[in-house]
Amino acid sequence: MENTDYQILLYYCYAKIENPEEYREEHHLFCVENNIRGRIIISDEGLNGTASGLVEDCQKYMDFIHSDPRFAKTEFKIDSFDKHAFTKIHVRYKPEIVHSSLRHLDPNVKTGKHLEPKEFKALKDQEDVVILDVRSNYEHELGHFKNALRLDIDNFRDFPEKVKELEHLKNKKVLTYCTGGIKCEKASAFLLEQGFEDVYQLHGGIIKYGMEAGGEDFEGKCYVFDNRIAVEVNKVNPKVISTCHVCGTNSDRMVNCSNSTCNAHVPICEECGWKMEGACSEECKENPEKRPYDGTGYYQKNTNGYNPYKGLYRKSDKAEILK
């Protein structure tokens, strides 16, 4: 039987945080003391995170967030796993919970209409509908909805500039989607600001669509930001759409280039992975910064000397600095 002792949590919440640096320390310390690992962003505008832990520890973590009235509405996408999806915990303060260059927009004030997965599924194939992928190139090249419009962007912060190319679609219903829903909050709000009138977003993103609607018509795999790199979504009519970066054969096996100075996110088939030692090109294969390839194509940052308590203090004893 598959080991499901661990869970992976994907979530976000737009909510005003008056003292984000202070809350960052409180949040970080809770994670450390409850063996939660992952990448979490704390900002003046809210929370955004992917975290992993034992089932009981994840429940404590969700209870911790929900117990704060500011974050009571937080919705978690929960996936089972056989181990931690991260090697350490990072809780960082950043100006935005997703880098968008749209800090003036507050999704709690105005954003696209949320569609539950089954509603999205029922609407997506109608004649006057455009399905808009708001993710980056390396994400939608691995997997995307059938017939989706995909923008040529390397980072989400490039999205506002690309919207200029969509002027001819202002009379359409625009259905936005992303991995977990967070980018759509700002993307759909920006579309409304630019004069698009009929704007929607897939609530919970691709991940929730896979869990609740079987992932139908999502072609390929979904890129995720943890050790798994890519996950299956479609249980109804799956299809591999990506090709090996090296040989061109069909492959949805996503890797990071073993050359640390490149680190490109590309599909590479297993045969080419071993042949190229995890590198995306001959040049990268010969680079002295190439990391040892173990067949996964995922590389943890060096954890030597990592101390999760560094820079933290306990509120019960502020004089005690944890080195």
Tokens of 124: 């997506």
Q: How far apart are CA 201 and CA 119, in angstroms?
A: 10
Burial class of residue 26, CB neighbours in 10 A (0-12, 13-18, 19+)? middle
Strand residue runs (E) in the chain: 6-14, 37-43, 46-54, 77-81, 89-93, 113-115, 129-133, 143-145, 149-150, 173-177, 199-202, 218-220, 222-223, 230-231, 254-256, 265-267, 312-314, 317-322
**Cα–chain center distance at 25:** 23
Output phi, psi for 137, to 5 deg: -55, -50
In order of 47, 65, 203, 273, 280, the CA distances from 260 in angstroms are 29, 35, 35, 15, 11
How many C-beta atoms surround the C-beta of residue 318 within 10 A?
8
Signed CA dihedral, 134, 228, 297, 219: sign only: negative
Would you say 43 and 20 are in contact if contact means Cβ atoms under 8 Å apart? yes
Tell me whether residue 178 is one of the annotated catalytic residues: yes
Residue 321, SS3? strand
Q: Which of 178, 257, 269, 272 is catalytic?
A: 178
Q: How far apart are CA 314 and CA 2, in angstroms?
A: 38
Select from 11, 211, 171 the least CA-distant residue to 97: 11
In order of 42, 44, 73, 226, 250, the CA distances from 293 in angstroms are 33, 39, 42, 18, 21
- Tell me the Ramachandran region of residue 77: left when phi exceeds 0, alpha when psi lies from -120 to 50, beta otherwise: beta
The residues annotated with a catalytic role in the active site are: 178
